[in-house]
Amino acid sequence: MNYLHQRRLVLTQAFKAKGVDAFLVTTPVNVSYLTGFTGEDSYFVINAKHEILVSDSRFDEQIKEECADLEAHIRPLTRTTLEAAAEVLTKIGAKSVGVEGNRLTLGALEQLKALAPKLTFVPLEGLVETQRMVKDPGEVEKIREAVRVAERGFRMFVATLREADTEKEMVDALEGYVRRAGARGTSFPPIIAVGERGALPHAPPTAKELGDGSKLLVDWGADLGYKSDLTRTLRSPFGTAPSRRNKQERVGYDFDKLYAVVLAAQNAALAAIRPGVKAKDVDAAARAVFANAKLDKYPDLKLDKCFTHGLGHGIGLEVHEGPKVRANSEDVLEAGMVITIEPGIYIPNWGGIRIEDDVLVTHDGFKLLTTLSREAATLSVS
Amino acid sequence: MNYLHQRRLVLTQAFKAKGVDAFLVTTPVNVSYLTGFTGEDSYFVINAKHEILVSDSRFDEQIKEECADLEAHIRPLTRTTLEAAAEVLTKIGAKSVGVEGNRLTLGALEQLKALAPKLTFVPLEGLVETQRMVKDPGEVEKIREAVRVAERGFRMFVATLREADTEKEMVDALEGYVRRAGARGTSFPPIIAVGERGALPHAPPTAKELGDGSKLLVDWGADLGYKSDLTRTLRSPFGTAPSRRNKQERVGYDFDKLYAVVLAAQNAALAAIRPGVKAKDVDAAARAVFANAKLDKYPDLKLDKCFTHGLGHGIGLEVHEGPKVRANSEDVLEAGMVITIEPGIYIPNWGGIRIEDDVLVTHDGFKLLTTLSREAATLSVS
């Protein structure tokens, strides 16, 4: 029995348990997860007797190739996909239909009600997403490959850097190398921040040059269907020469000492990972390291105040998915979950240090999917 | 008075006319349109007395730079943006709150109701999107620039092609050139189809080589915040030599004759464009050309059956937005709208021809924003 069939069985059990006799999947990534279909603008209808992709003639051939075991309903040009889905649901004799409460819009539900007034539509929260949180071995291997490709692209990128490259040029170059390494593209627009710009955790790229700073933060990932998400922060050989000294980048804090604290926070979080642990306790393990860090040279620096975002998130078909690894999360770790662990500190006018790795929760702890060194290192520019 | 302020005034009139006293904007692109904020994960709350961005500390600095005239509510790490928005709405004394019916999920509305049980939430459809359909002169200029950059990137791309380039390599190369020409990236993953693969209107890129086909279809755009969306189909000097003849690509149909029909369909659609015209009538004008095309050599070829998608769509901050230009559209053209006109024909095992341009609706007709030639041409590969 293949994984796709298994996923549809699990979904069927889940929606039956909620008291509905059919389910309508409208979210593209969930349609892909359940059917293997990689096209767009298509919905999936399932009940005890039918598994039907509702699509249009652009994807007729593709569905035959990718989803040979499913029925297809190809809508005419004069119908919307939602109209076609309502027809299909009526035709298969559905009575109460689960819909994706965390995805479907208010307007779409109103339309469905108008199109199929005899059906009852029941919003259900995250049925497919809950299933997606725990990866099967094939999915773990795909994420591992997305990590490998991201790492290969990063090595190419680092090998080609020049002092005069701008953040924007570096973003574009990294995009090219991640594709060259085998990805469809990056899994999100890379964040590349020179010097003090690293203090913005989501810095958009500017014309600032690599040579304008004494450190470089790179947050990137590869998209091969499944996605990866990594961050490395490197000492840069630039930005400190008097001839070029960047007056915006405040010096004074010791990169290595701060890096060591971030790495210790990451290690503390990793050590806390195992099935049954609350995700928020993993976040707390990292946060405790920052709260307890003693940096005698900088008595005013409260590192816990410098860690301004959650510790991590699940990763898979989407770059952000469940579980949440943060203070307000109610999620509990299970073997097979793949999460990012990404502590960081951000100091205005100085910069930021973030270390992010992709981690599999195993039966007795964790396994890093990342192989790039996590130690403090200096960028080597030829 | 600046455009952003004007947009918020128009929105305020629109939601007041619907009988609500405040409005909550949760869609990132709509938040950007109304506030100029370019970050993520932030909401916008507006009533008669307040204009408040609800965000988190990652964007604290960015909001001060980009939205100096707005209030900002920076949520703590322990609150979600939705929780913070509910607090803000309560604090400013809102009673009935419009929400984006075509965007907000069923689950988010349930959460809002639970978080602020004394408020009434009213789903309103497309208030911001309706306003966004008609572009102001600054927006038109930004789209025109996105067209220029796409065209510049395309010329670089064409100049560097090699017979051995795969569809995937061409997609990656085009991505790089569009960025090199000045874009953040392409506005969607480019569609590049060699030979008979053009018969799939949304063909994902494969290992098929440029030299494996006698034509090349390229559908691409540039993202500079505002977006462009163009398609060109070129005769290729390859794919016909006996030594390399691609057995999958059926020959027999005359590229030039079919191209001339598609171009005539596009010209007929353009000629139909003016304020007050129904968008579906523009679609019909193109469709009529296909229905009436007489191709004596191919009596069995029904070109209207080969045009399997709508004629076009609005373009702006999103690559697909209003108005819809298709048979089932109720939209009426207005001066200031910017739409794609993209007739195409798709013949299994032979390929496809699509010509797509970005067009401004003017007071007395239309203006092409595209400057690339629309005539049939042969790819020149050095």
Q: How close, in Å, is residue A250 to chain B by CA atoms?
A: 17
Alpha carbon A158 to its chain centroid, in Å, reads: 23
Give yes or no for residue B60 having a pLDDT over 90: no
Which residues lie across from A51 on neighbouring strands?
A46
Q: How close, in Å, is residue B335 to chain A by CA atoms?
A: 26
Q: Tell me: cis bond preceding A323? Omega within 30 of 0 counts.
A: yes
Is the Cβ pair B202, A40 closer than 8 Å? yes
Question: For residue A201, what pLDDT is reported?
Answer: 76
User: How high does pLDDT run on average in chain B?
Assistant: 94
Torsional sign, CA A31, B320, B171, A153: negative
Q: Are residues A56 and A196 in the same domain?
A: no
The minimal CB distance from B104 to the residues A105, A172, A348 is found for: A105
Is the Cβ pair A202, B58 closer than 8 Å? yes
Question: For residue A319, what pLDDT is reported?
Answer: 98
Q: Are residues B71 and B217 in the same domain?
A: no
Query: B103, B106, B111: which to substitute to probe chain A, counting the most A Cβ within 10 Å?
Result: B106
B334 touches chain A (CB under 8 A): no
Final residue belonging to a domain, choices A131, A160, A176:
A131
B310 touches chain A (CB under 8 A): yes
Query: Is A335 part of any domain?
Result: yes
Neighboring chain A residues of B61 at a CB cutoff of 8 Å: 199-200, 348
Q: Are residues B174 and B78 in the same domain?
A: no
Q: Are residues B46 and B181 in the same domain?
A: no
Q: Are residues A138 and A127 in the same domain?
A: no
Query: Is B93 part of any domain?
Result: yes
d(CA A309, CA B260): 57
Query: Is A374 part of any domain?
Result: no
Cα B313 to Cα A187, B271, B333, distances in angstroms: 27, 17, 11
Neighboring chain A residues of B62 at a CB cutoff of 8 Å: 200
Question: For residue A248, what pLDDT is reported?
Answer: 67
Neighboring chain A residues of B80 at a CB cutoff of 8 Å: 328
Burial of A210 (0-12, 13-18, 19+ CB in 10 A): buried
Q: Are residues B316 and B278 in the same domain?
A: yes
Give yes or no for residue B252 having a pLDDT over 90: no
Tokens 């990451």 belong to which residue?
Answer: A266
Is the Cβ pair B77, A202 closer than 8 Å? no
Q: Are residues B17 and B53 in the same domain?
A: yes
Query: Is A111 part of any domain?
Result: yes
* DSSP-derived secondary structure letter, B237: S
Q: How many domains does chain B have?
A: 2
Closest CA to B234 of B271, B192, B272: B192
Residue B189 DSSP SS3: coil
Cα nearest neighbour of B178 on chain A: A172
Q: How close, in Å, is residue B151 to chain A by CA atoms?
A: 18
Show the domain range for B185. Answer: 134-368
d(CA B161, CA B294): 35
* Order of strands across the sheet that contains A43-47: A71-74, A51-55, A43-47, A22-25, A96-100, A120-124
Neighboring chain B residues of A57 at a CB cutoff of 8 Å: 308
Give yes or no for residue B249 having a pLDDT over 80: no
Question: How crowded is residue A76: how many other Cβ atoms within 10 Å of its Cβ?
Answer: 11
Q: Are residues A363 and A287 in the same domain?
A: yes
d(CA A246, CA B348): 59
Residue-wise pLDDT tens digits, A192-205: 999 999 998 777 89
d(CA B321, CA B342): 15
**Where residue A29 falls among pLDDT bands split at 50, 70, 90?**
very high
**Residue A255's CATH number:** 3.90.230.10
Final residue belonging to a domain, choices A69, A102, A131:
A131
Give yes or no for residue B246 having a pLDDT over 70: no
d(CA A82, CA A112): 7
Q: Which residues contact A51 (CB under 8 A, 6 or more apart)?
A: A8, A35, A44, A45, A69, A70, A71
In chain A, count H helices and then E strands.
11, 19
Q: Are residues B104 and B181 in the same domain?
A: no
What length does chain A have? 382
Query: A104, A106, A113: which to substitute to probe chain B, counting the most B Cβ within 10 Å?
Result: A106
Query: B40, B83, B105: which to substitute to probe chain A, counting the most A Cβ within 10 Å?
Result: B105
**Residue A15's CATH number:** 3.40.350.10
Q: Are residues B254 and B310 in the same domain?
A: yes
Q: How close, in Å, is residue A85 to chain B by CA atoms?
A: 17
Ramachandran angles phi, psi of A158, nearest 5°: -65, -35
Cα A144 to Cα A157, A300, B114, B326, distances in angstroms: 20, 41, 40, 43
Helix axes of A167-180 and B167-180: crossing angle, nearest 10 degrees = 180
Question: For residue A203, what pLDDT is reported?
Answer: 76
B58 touches chain A (CB under 8 A): yes
CB–CB contacts below 8 A, A to B: 106
* Secondary structure element (H or E) that encloses residue A216, with its range: strand A215-220
Is the Cβ pair A310, B79 closer than 8 Å? no
A310 touches chain B (CB under 8 A): yes
Residue-wise pLDDT tens digits, A33-78: 999 999 889 999 999 999 999 999 888 888 998 999 999 999 988 8
Stretch among A298-302, A322-326, A372-376, B28-32 having the lowest mean pLDDT:
A298-302
Q: Which residues contact A229 (CB under 8 A, 6 or more apart)?
A: A187, A188, A219, A220, A221, A315, A319, A340, A342, A356, A358
ipTM for this prediction: 0.90
Query: Is A33 part of any domain?
Result: yes
Residue-wise pLDDT tens digits, B130-187: 999 999 999 999 999 999 999 999 999 999 999 999 999 999 999 999 999 999 999 9
Q: Are residues B88 and B64 in the same domain?
A: yes
In chain B, count H helices and then E strands.
11, 19
Burial of A367 (0-12, 13-18, 19+ CB in 10 A): middle
B64 touches chain A (CB under 8 A): no
Query: Is A29 part of any domain?
Result: yes
d(CA A264, CA A257): 11
User: How high does pLDDT run on average in chain A?
Assistant: 94
Neighboring chain B residues of A199 at a CB cutoff of 8 Å: 61
A234 versus B240: the higher-pLDDT residue is A234
Give yes or no for residue B245 having a pLDDT over 70: no
Burial of A2 (0-12, 13-18, 19+ CB in 10 A): exposed
Question: For residue B53, what pLDDT is reported?
Answer: 97
B254 touches chain A (CB under 8 A): no
Query: A57, A63, A77: which to substitute to probe chain B, counting the most B Cβ within 10 Å?
Result: A77
Final residue belonging to a domain, choices B85, B103, B131:
B131
Question: For residue A59, what pLDDT is reported?
Answer: 87
A180 touches chain B (CB under 8 A): yes
Q: What is Dmax (Cα atoms) for chain B?
A: 77
Radius of gyration of chain A (CA): 24
d(CA B290, CA B345): 9
Is the Cβ pair B78, A104 closer than 8 Å? no
**Where residue A106 falls among pLDDT bands split at 50, 70, 90?**
very high
Query: A27, A65, A172, A309: which to substitute to probe chain B, counting the most B Cβ within 10 Å?
Result: A172
Q: How close, in Å, is residue B110 to chain A by CA atoms?
A: 9
Rounded to the nearest 10°, the torsion over CA B149, B151, B157, B161 is 180
Query: Is B18 part of any domain?
Result: yes
Query: B77, B320, B329: which to substitute to probe chain A, counting the most A Cβ within 10 Å?
Result: B77
Q: Are residues B159 and B66 in the same domain?
A: no
Q: Tell me: cis bond preceding B323? Omega within 30 of 0 counts.
A: yes
Question: For residue B1, what pLDDT is reported?
Answer: 52
Is the Cβ pair B189, A189 closer than 8 Å? no
Query: Is B378 part of any domain?
Result: no
* Order of strands across the sheet that contains A365-368: A321-325, A312-314, A338-341, A357-362, A365-368
Ramachandran angles phi, psi of A215, nearest 5°: -155, 160
Is the Cβ pair A106, B107 closer than 8 Å? no
Cα nearest neighbour of B174 on chain A: A176
Is the Cβ pair A309, B101 closer than 8 Å? no
A166's tokens? 């701008």
* Terminal CA-CA length for chain A: 52
The minimal CB distance from A58 to the residues B79, B125, B308 is found for: B308
The minimal CB distance from A172 to the residues B103, B180, B202 is found for: B180
Residue-wise pLDDT tens digits, A163-201: 999 999 999 999 999 999 999 999 999 999 999 999 987
A326's tokens? 């943060």
* Order of strands across the sheet that contains B96-100: B71-74, B51-55, B43-47, B22-25, B96-100, B120-124
d(CA B32, CA B37): 5
Cα nearest neighbour of A122 on chain B: B106
Cα nearest neighbour of B190 on chain A: A184
Alpha carbon A317 to its chain centroid, in Å, reads: 8
Continuous H helices in A103-232: 106-115, 127-133, 137-159, 167-180
Q: How close, in Å, is residue B343 to chain A by CA atoms?
A: 14
Residue B379 DSSP SS3: coil
